[in-house]
Chains A and B, each alone.
Chain A
């Protein structure tokens, strides 16, 4: 088994295990205090958001400022699930999980239905999908909650508290990611038709809309527990290092495997030349939606991780100004370098929220917001391709198929 694996895979597994064990030990032994724990978890969350953005912007060429919007959706949705659960209300689980599943099922049906027609306009397509979404969640709220709620509740109550808690947390993370994916799908269908720059502005608008909605969760939206602009409190602090590590690993593996496949090549070809990609038979519109949804699912997952570590959510932390953070990280680490994005994500939080906040002289703490733009400026002047350029660690590097041995002989007789 081990012999069949590539060397790079073995190194990756070994490196991952070492990092996991070392940090777990440091946390268990109390060498890293809660503050530094928060920094590490936050770094992981921001890395996931930035990886998603790198997929969208770095690999697919669509300039998105909306990732914080999806991050916020993931955070609030998963927080709401667990919040309700601790207040012995399973409706969050039922609505988000089963609502999302129902939505996905309806999407498959709608897609199959729309495929029977030629020349369906984007807005018509969008209308069908949004109606399907509304229908699915209406069914979930009105029908599934009374139907499945008690059942879910009793099953989870029977299990030991520690286990049911992990299950609920898993469902919350999954639900947050699903909701972010659904939102990005609905948003992406009409908006991805726009060119890259216009798309960027539209996604900025999306982030602002999400922030405004979050400010008014208790008035416009029917979620009094989110407490609008006062910030949501009482979220259980369930995020642990294994969860963080597993989520980040999942994001890395999924992204790597997708990029190293034919789907990934299609994604990159759209970045290179969208017109030419269409004229070699690649469905550019679908490819763009796919990359966008996948990237946003990553952001949603990161939101759930972050929410259950901080245990407090405030709309201000999902401000559109914040949505530039993942963009800066992606560009700083090197566009279309996963390695660069992950390392820079951690480094970013470590520097900005860790070192500078702690070690700037008293009274100068806000100067960190002066230091980092300066670092950015210098960076862009000296190394515009980003810290890592296109470098990848071997595991994330694309493996080229081996050259057949006969090549050389044939080459000689060819034209």
Chain B
């Protein structure tokens, strides 16, 4: 199978495919941002995507979520093609993502941030909201309850009426993950979740990522700069440089790979250990 390292345990290889990217290439004008990228994720995996600045990691996320339309190649989620679909439809299929620079609705309350993500599943329409029908009240109460439950899982229950922008940085990250998970996705794309966090916050984040994967039965793809996080929690890793895949494998192997050391870890190897 393309887009996977050798030597993954057969029971994992037997699981259904969640995300498949085949020969994906993307150009910005004449700049080749991603070239011949392939990746296959199976259910329940936690996979890392690393690479130096400008390697094209976030572009890969943007291609999956329909922010950009891939110039070439095929992206499939559970067998359904994603190329050319608008973002909101892709999200509604069960993919969720967070952003490198937090993009909360920062003037709205914590609760509303989560409730907005429920909107596609709200179960009532404009007429119900104008007339305040029974259905509206029932669904609205249900939504508030669900959102509250969610916030409590993420330790934000008491701050639900706070304005999102006023939360401390770590909690904003947490809220962003909560919002992404609110609509019950199956695949979660985390774009540099540890950016700007201190070591202790990173430890908490690692626990959180493991916890949500088990609790919500997720497949997770993670873009990250912080080696400690990636090396510790990812089952396997794909390394990109200048839009191309330069290595792929288990954390221990990738760390030793000469291409990777040259492109990336060479400078940072000291920092890891």
Chain A residues within 8 Å of B, Cβ to Cβ: 118-119, 254, 257-258, 260-266, 268-269, 272-273, 275-285, 290, 400-401, 403-404, 407-408, 410-411, 414-415
B residues 117-145 near A (Cβ < 8 Å) are: 117-120, 122, 124-126, 128-132, 136, 139-141, 143-145
In Å, the complex CA distance between A136 and B62 comes to 41
In the bound complex, residues from chain A placing their C-beta under 8 Å from that of B124 are: 261-262
B residues 193-231 near A (Cβ < 8 Å) are: 204, 207-208
Known: A254-B130, A414-B153. A119 touches B84 (CB 8 A): yes
Q: Taking chain A's interface residues, is the majority helix, strand, or loop, or is none over half, making it mixed?
A: helix
In the bound complex, residues from chain A placing their C-beta under 8 Å from that of B208 are: 415
Known: A401-B144, A407-B148. A415 touches B91 (CB 8 A): no
Q: How far is the CB of B201 from chain A (nearest CB, A)?
A: 11
Q: Is the CB of A118 within 8 A of B105?
A: no
Kindly list 8 other residue pairs between chains A and B, CB separation below 8 angstroms, not including A401-B144, A414-B153: A261-B122, A264-B129, A279-B67, A280-B119, A283-B86, A401-B140, A411-B157, A415-B154
Q: Does B75 contact A (CB under 8 A)?
A: no
Q: Does B175 contact A (CB under 8 A)?
A: no
In the bound complex, residues from chain A placing their C-beta under 8 Å from that of B161 are: 400
In the bound complex, residues from chain B placing their C-beta under 8 Å from that of A262 are: 115, 118-119, 122, 124, 129, 139-140, 143
In Å, the complex CA distance between A278 and B141 comes to 24
A262's nearest neighbour on chain B, judged by CB, is B122
Known: A272-B106, A275-B67, A280-B179. A265 touches B112 (CB 8 A): yes
In the bound complex, residues from chain A placing their C-beta under 8 Å from that of B204 are: 415
Q: Is the CB of A283 within 8 A of B88?
A: yes
Known: A280-B183, A411-B157, A415-B204. A266 touches B119 (CB 8 A): yes
A401's nearest neighbour on chain B, judged by CB, is B144
B residues 40-56 near A (Cβ < 8 Å) are: none
In Å, the complex CA distance between A278 and B96 comes to 11
- Of B105, B111, B115, B128, the residue contacting A276 (CB under 8 A) is B105
Q: How far is the CB of B67 from chain A (nearest CB, A)?
A: 7
In Å, the complex CA distance between A167 and B54 comes to 66
Q: Does B250 contact A (CB under 8 A)?
A: no
Q: Does B152 contact A (CB under 8 A)?
A: yes
In Å, the complex CA distance between A214 and B31 comes to 51
Q: Is the CB of A414 within 8 A of B152?
A: yes
B residues 155-181 near A (Cβ < 8 Å) are: 155, 157-158, 160-161, 179-180
- Of B65, B116, B143, the residue contacting A282 (CB under 8 A) is B116
Q: List 12 A-B contacts (CB under 8 A).
A: A257-B132, A261-B122, A263-B129, A264-B129, A280-B182, A281-B92, A282-B120, A283-B88, A403-B160, A407-B157, A408-B158, A410-B152
In Å, the complex CA distance between A268 and B86 comes to 20
Of A265, A280, A284, most B-chain CB atoms within 10 Å: A280
- Mark contacts of B10-40 with chain A using CB atoms, 8 A cut-off: 1 yes-contact digit, 0 otherwise: 0000000000000000000000000000000
A257's nearest neighbour on chain B, judged by CB, is B130
In Å, the complex CA distance between A26 and B86 comes to 56
Q: Does B87 contact A (CB under 8 A)?
A: yes
In Å, the complex CA distance between A408 and B159 comes to 11
In Å, the complex CA distance between A277 and B124 comes to 19
In the bound complex, residues from chain A placing their C-beta under 8 Å from that of B207 are: 415
Q: Is the CB of B130 within 8 A of A280?
A: no
In Å, the complex CA distance between A401 and B183 comes to 19
In Å, the complex CA distance between A411 and B155 comes to 7
- Of B65, B96, B108, B143, the residue contacting A268 (CB under 8 A) is B108
- Of B107, B117, B145, the residue contacting A404 (CB under 8 A) is B145
Q: Is the CB of A273 within 8 A of B105?
A: yes
Q: Does B248 contact A (CB under 8 A)?
A: no
In Å, the complex CA distance between A263 and B140 comes to 11
Q: Is the CB of B105 within 8 A of A272?
A: yes
Q: Is the CB of B91 within 8 A of A280?
A: yes
In Å, the complex CA distance between A275 and B180 comes to 14
Q: How far is the CB of A293 from chain B (nearest CB, A)?
A: 10
B176's nearest neighbour on chain A, judged by CB, is A276
In Å, the complex CA distance between A285 and B155 comes to 34
Q: Is the CB of B144 within 8 A of A272?
A: no
Q: Is the CB of B103 within 8 A of A275?
A: yes
In the bound complex, residues from chain A placing their C-beta under 8 Å from that of B183 are: 280-281
Q: Is the CB of A290 within 8 A of B126?
A: yes
Q: Is the CB of B103 within 8 A of A281?
A: no
Q: Is the CB of A258 within 8 A of B116?
A: no
Known: A282-B120, A410-B157. A404 touches B91 (CB 8 A): no
In Å, the complex CA distance between A401 and B143 comes to 10
- Mark contacts of B225-248 with chain A using CB atoms, 8 A cut-off: 1 yes-contact digit, 0 otherwise: 000000000000000000000000
In the bound complex, residues from chain A placing their C-beta under 8 Å from that of B57 are: none
